[in-house]
Amino acid sequence: MIKVAIFGVGLMGGSLALCLKDKPGIRVAGHSNRPSQVEKYVSLGVVDEASTSMQEVAEDADFIFLCVPVSLLEPYLDELLQMRLKPGCIITDVGSTKATIVKHARKRAVPGIHFIGGHPMTGSERSGVEVADYNLYENAFYVLTPDESTPEEAYNKLTDLLQYTRAQIVRVDAEQHDEIVGAISHLPHMIAVALVNQIAGYNEKDGLYQSLAAGGFRDITRIASSHPDMWRDILLNNRSVMLKLMRDWNAEIAKLTALVENGDGDGIVREFERAGAFRNQLPERKKGVLTSVYDVYVDIPDHPGIIGQIATLLGNHRINLSNLHISESRADVPGVLRLSFRNEVDMDASIKLLKQHSYAVQL
């Protein structure tokens, strides 16, 4: 029996647990220092067993996944390395930054225990075990950052286990990872937050800003709703990379400002064409690149029973919803309903059906 121990059974750890649980010869144990969480992991059926005791969860594990916030990775690793672990045990993590934890693990190396950094390029603005999803990792790129000290056998064992996630494993140097992921993930989160806060400031004086915000604003700002503590950790951990990226960002904005200031229409068109050409090359709807969940947004007029009607309509056509969230509902503005599906087939069927029934649907 292979034992997989997961520390931090939230969105990422819980989704991983769901991929591994019930697979032949695998037992998944979860850890939390809060008893109420431990009970929840088991009652939700995300893990086979759970405990508040680190020792109990870790001691006979073949694989240990650290799925806690970035600022806790080093303390957790240190504590684990002081315990008696199973010889050959592989410890990995899913943290959004890689250079510091990999460097730290190298410094603290214990013979016979192997640390391999990891980062699945998928996720969501949501957090917690309640939103864990069996399909979260499917088709996503899953970065691993072994170095010259990593035995090939340990790397192969980990990649074999990760096949159950249905993600695509990619081997990347830890520092290179932080530069690239800083640009394609961390920078966009900062931009989304700055943009939302800029508009929120205008909205304080005139609520029409919020009312008129449509698909464009929503598309570029979803990630502004991400967990603040998680992002504090990531941005501070990747600080030097972020500072350079922010300087480059300021230069890009200054370039656009100059084009508008100078009335340079050709220049503006060139910028859009260049951006469109790059973006259009990204594989559509593939996880880990553009979207991580199959979400559809529906404008809903404010009248009683509308949500029930939509849910019933989908149910009658055997379209399974995985989640439903009302983003906005006030008497004077239309609400926005976010419908989440487990796969593309259900999402596409729902779009078709809802449009047939004259709902305004956006991706």
Ligand X SMILES: O=C(O)C(=O)C[C@]1(C(=O)O)C=C[C@@H](O)C=C1
CB of 223 to ligand X, least distance (A): 5
Distance between CA atoms of 166 and 56, rounded to whole angstroms? 29
Nearer to ligand X, 185 or 309 (CB): 185
Which of the 8 DSSP states describes residue 125?
Answer: S
CB of 233 to ligand NAD, least distance (A): 7
CB of 175 to ligand X, least distance (A): 16
Residue 192 near which of ligand NAD, ligand X, none (CB within 5-8 Å, type-dependent): none
Asked if 61 and 29 touch (Cβ cutoff 8 Å), the reply is yes
Element spanning 77, H or E: helix 70-81
Can you spell out the DSSP letters for 228-291? HHHHHHHHHHTHHHHHHHHHHHHHHHHHHHHHHHTT-HHHHHHHHHHHHHHHTTSPTT-TTTT-
Residue 223 near which of ligand NAD, ligand X, none (CB within 5-8 Å, type-dependent): ligand X
CB of 101 to ligand X, least distance (A): 13
Choose the stretch contacting ligand X; rule: CB under 6 A; options: 36-44, 122-130, 276-284, 312-320.
122-130
Nearer to ligand NAD, 230 or 319 (CB): 230
Closest CA to 47 of 66, 73, 22, 72: 22
Does residue number 118 form part of the binding site for ligand X (CB under 6 A)? no
Q: What is the footprint of ligand X within residues 74-103 (CB under 6 A)?
A: 96
Percent helix / strand / coil, the chain, rounded to 5:
50, 20, 30
Does residue number 68 form part of the binding site for ligand X (CB under 6 A)? no
Does residue number 94 form part of the binding site for ligand NAD (CB under 6 A)? yes
Number of residues that bind ligand NAD (CB under 6 A): 26
Which spans of this chain sit near ligand X (rule: CB under 6 A)? 96, 121-125, 185, 223, 226, 292
